[in-house]
Structure 1
Amino acid sequence: MSVIDLGEYGADFTANPYPYYAKMREAGPVHRVRTTDGAELWLIVGYEEARAALADPRLSKSPSVVGMTMLDEQVIGPNLLVLDPPDHTRLRRLVAGQFTGRRVESLRPRLERLTGELADAMAPAGHADLVDSFAFPLPITVICELLGVPAADRDTFRAWTNEIVAPTGAGPEAEAIEGLAAYLDALVEDKRAAGSTDDLLSDLITARAEDGDRLSLAELRALGYLLLIAGHETTVNLIANAVRALLTHPEQLAAVRADFGLLDAVVEETLRWEGPVENATFRFTREPVRIGETLVPAYEPVLVSLASGDRDPARYPDADRFDLHRDARGHLAFGHGIHYCLGAPLARLEARIAIRTLLERFPGLELDPEGGALDWLPGMLIRGVRRLPVRW
């Protein structure tokens, strides 16, 4: 099978990968590709095949299957995204109890206050970068409050996480991971010493399974890392992508303004149409795995394209159209199977509240025509823009 060099597509692939994914889907559900950073792997682009792969135990999440460890795993330690059962099962059981529907719903008043305060701060200027002024501060404040991170440290966290999800180079990425690891170790030790019980990290420190099992320092560090990265970077881009989708589809925007009952549809259709995670994190074949008519050999890296699967017309007719009246259920934006995103209910709640606040406070909200071209985040993990200039 020939190798498709995604790097040859240049910046156009970063800005709009969907036509390229469509061309690949037409030729088959899985392809051998060379990514923009030069790595060769298998890319699954069909919806049914992607959904099946996400839950296939023959596709391991652990890089050790192919004798590798990821940079963050070397420094931080193994987290839920690089573990298979039974290790994954054990950690997920210890953590899942902290992400109940009741706990998420209890955050609603705080989320509503935060979005109101952010809107108040934006309003006098008449224009803003929505990412910097609104979409970033909301989830980073929420996740830092959940973890018990002081407000003064949040800008440092942002610099670290930006570098980790969209690296500008191996050196800066390593420095960001090392800085975050050291910070999290100190944070855990401080909370242990203080005996604090008023935040999620403190609850995780004291959490016990029925058999008395507890999380080690390394596991707490890795969970803090995962919650910070996954708990805010994805929500930043979910909010920004949803607002951009509405502002570029005026008829859909008008429908939402007329009926806020469509807010759930805005969130779900955004997740399907322009979700914040373009491709799931790596999987590795434990044995030869047949995908469509292609036999992927053992011990090969595999990427599951959530973005491509969710634009597959075999699953969603007229899939490239942003349509709030379609049934978007079954989308892959939060994954599928045992690695389904634990934070999905919180992300949905934050996005619904954020979008409603913006539409209520800024009736004339629109993209700023003087804002310049969109600057898309590099790489194939996070789908979003660095800035979203708007005015009202």
Structure 2
Amino acid sequence: MTTHTPLDLAALGEDFARDPYPVYERLRTEGPVHRVWMPEGAEVWLVVGYEEARAALTDPRLSKQWSNAAESFPIKSPSGSHMMNSDMPQHTRLRKLVAREFTSRRIEALRPRVQEICDALLSQMLAAPEGRADLVDSFSFPLPMSVICELLGVPFLDQAEVRRWADAAISSQDPVERAAAAADAARFIATLVEQKRTRPGADLLSALIRTVDEEGDRLSVDELMGTVFLLIVAGHETTTNLIGNGVHALLTHPDQLSLLRSDFSLMDAAVEEMLRYDGAVESATFRFATESFELGGRFITAGEAVMVDLNAANRDAARFATPDRFDIRRSTAGHVAFGHGIHHCLGAPLARMEARIAIRSLLEHCPDLALDLSAPAVRWRHGILVRGPHHLPIRFAAN
């Protein structure tokens, strides 16, 4: 493998989607930063080293604002203004307004309901014939989507519809399909916001609509729309993939599964290792150089795009010993699965809580849980923004 010619990630196919880590390791042997072709057709700098990833995530010369992208950059700016595509001081302003309502108290109040939803979904799943099911369709997707419904105060989101446009907006390599998904999302969210304007409640969406800070500042319509999109997509994508990836790791490492079953006090550490070992968010979203500078021995030109591969950074042997070993007793301090710096994921506490409850409940309800080896091989999502299986066939009844 050479880094003189940009590596075409799309050309790596299913093998890369299934297991990208050997590619990242080979790249790291040549350096921490490389020029690559994205599946979406853009040429970017990809950061695969841990120290360089942390540095890039906090470097003020790398902007999240699409106005700093070079004119030749082929991917269009997403619609909506929110925390993930803004810099300081705008980012500070938006995060402050959202954090006023997205509080730890509001999240913690959801704990009993998360458990209730888990139990109901698992009861339905366990009724499946022949003791087999798809974990994604039966559990890891509907759980966080139901929790987002509870949080936003929406009686029921059309889950199939949301899944369709969210998957396309995040993972599609077709720009036309991505644009159509963005338009569908905008219409869907506009309807939700209008419903809450006319019938407000004690929920997060109603609070975001009416929240005003000490200086009288509030979210504009565009900012509100962008924030709701972020909450819906990030709120279910992150947790769906965290549960799917985590369960897959456990089922392919029976020694670690047995260890966790014998001592559920290891659950918090296990979830952190799941995040480090095979995180739900493959890469942070685009950053654009506002000036030319050097990063990891490579010269980044103003306007060029940089992607920080969080999962690659978390497998860097310079930071984590034997990084390709899944070990729920290891120290995971410093992992960057939820980012680093001012853009560290605001929803990380909710994702962690859901994953801890979900995985423990699954293991308690399913003492014979295993991968369904009679089903087709697990297919993984393409692209390097999110990581997770499309489906995860499991069996939960002993043969």
Q: TM-score, normalised by structure 1?
A: 0.96
2:270 aligns with: 266
Among candidates 106, 113, 133, match of residue 116 of structure 2: 113
Among candidates 362, 367, 370, match of residue 371 of structure 2: 367
C-alpha change, 1:98 and 1:70, in structure 2 (3 Å) is farther
Separation (CA, whole Å) in 1 of partners of 2:301 and 2:168: 33
1:14 aligns with: 17
AA of the residue aligned to 1:251 = D
Q: CA offset at residue 71 of structure 1?
A: 7.1
Q: Tell me, what secondary structure is at the counterpart of 2:158?
A: helix
C-alpha change, 1:100 and 1:129, in structure 2 (3 Å) is same
Give the conservation status (yes or no) of the 8 Å contact 1:63–1:70: no
Q: Deviations over 1:126-166 (max 9, x none)?
A: 11100000000000011122123341522211111111111
Q: 2:210 matched to 1:203?
A: no
Q: 2:74 matched to 1:52?
A: no
1:388 aligns with: 392
Question: Percent of pairs identical after alignment?
Answer: 52
Separation (CA, whole Å) in 1 of partners of 2:221 and 2:74: 20
AA of the residue aligned to 2:48 = V
Among candidates 153, 156, 163, match of residue 158 of structure 1: 163
Q: CA offset at residue 236 of structure 1?
A: 0.2
1:33 aligns with: 36
Among candidates 132, 156, 181, match of residue 176 of structure 1: 181
2:332 aligns with: 328
AA of the residue aligned to 1:137 = P
Q: CA offset at residue 329 of structure 1?
A: 1.3
Give the conservation status (yes or no) of the 8 Å contact 2:378–2:392: yes
Q: CA offset at residue 264 of structure 1?
A: 0.6
Among candidates 198, 218, 224, match of residue 220 of structure 1: 224
Root-mean-square deviation (CA), in Å? 1.6
Separation (CA, whole Å) in 2 of partners of 1:309 and 1:90: 29
2:257 aligns with: 253
Q: CA offset at residue 331 of structure 1?
A: 0.6
Separation (CA, whole Å) in 2 of partners of 1:169 and 1:292: 31
Q: Tell me, what secondary structure is at the counterpart of 1:251?
A: helix
Q: Deviations over 1:5-37 (max 9, x none)?
A: 323322211111101100111111111112233
Q: Deviations over 1:258-287 (max 9, x none)?
A: 100011111100100000111110001111
Q: 2:62 matched to 1:64?
A: no
Separation (CA, whole Å) in 1 of partners of 2:76 and 2:364: 41
- More moved, 205-214 vs 169-178: 169-178
Q: Deviations over 1:151-202 (max 9, x none)?
A: 15222111111111111633332222111101211221221122x1321110
Give the conservation status (yes or no) of the 8 Å contact 1:146–1:200: yes
Among candidates 108, 127, 136, match of residue 132 of structure 2: 127
Give the conservation status (yes or no) of the 8 Å contact 1:44–1:303: yes
Q: Tell me, what secondary structure is at the counterpart of 1:10?
A: helix
Q: 2:309 matched to 1:301?
A: no
2:316 aligns with: 312
Give the conservation status (yes or no) of the 8 Å contact 1:241–1:275: yes
Separation (CA, whole Å) in 2 of partners of 1:379 and 1:5: 12
Q: CA offset at residue 73 of structure 1?
A: 4.8
Give the conservation status (yes or no) of the 8 Å contact 2:65–2:287: yes
Q: Deviations over 1:65-113 (max 9, x none)?
A: 1256997855x32221111111111111100122222221111000000
- More moved, 240-249 vs 287-296: 287-296
Separation (CA, whole Å) in 1 of partners of 2:22 and 2:277: 13
Q: 2:353 matched to 1:346?
A: no
Give the conservation status (yes or no) of the 8 Å contact 1:72–1:177: no
- More moved, 279-288 vs 59-68: 59-68
Q: Tell me, what secondary structure is at the counterpart of 2:288?
A: strand
1:278 aligns with: 282
Q: 2:241 matched to 1:241?
A: no
Give the conservation status (yes or no) of the 8 Å contact 1:234–1:277: yes
AA of the residue aligned to 1:155 = A
- More moved, 236-245 vs 148-157: 148-157
Give the conservation status (yes or no) of the 8 Å contact 2:153–2:201: no
Q: Deviations over 1:336-378 (max 9, x none)?
A: 0000000000000000000000000010000001111111111
Separation (CA, whole Å) in 2 of partners of 1:171 and 1:49: 34
Separation (CA, whole Å) in 2 of partners of 1:156 and 1:316: 40
C-alpha change, 1:152 and 1:54, in structure 2 (3 Å) is closer
Q: CA offset at residue 217 of structure 1?
A: 1.3
Give the conservation status (yes or no) of the 8 Å contact 1:188–1:217: no
1:99 aligns with: 102
Separation (CA, whole Å) in 2 of partners of 1:18 and 1:261: 29
Q: Tell me, what secondary structure is at the counterpart of 2:385?
A: coil
2:91 aligns with: 88
Separation (CA, whole Å) in 1 of partners of 2:182 and 2:61: 30
Separation (CA, whole Å) in 1 of partners of 2:270 and 2:226: 32
Give the conservation status (yes or no) of the 8 Å contact 1:166–1:382: yes
Q: Tell me, what secondary structure is at the counterpart of 1:128?
A: strand
Q: CA offset at residue 209 of structure 1?
A: 1.0
Give the conservation status (yes or no) of the 8 Å contact 1:131–1:387: yes
C-alpha change, 1:171 and 1:2, in structure 2 (3 Å) is closer
- More moved, 171-180 vs 335-344: 171-180
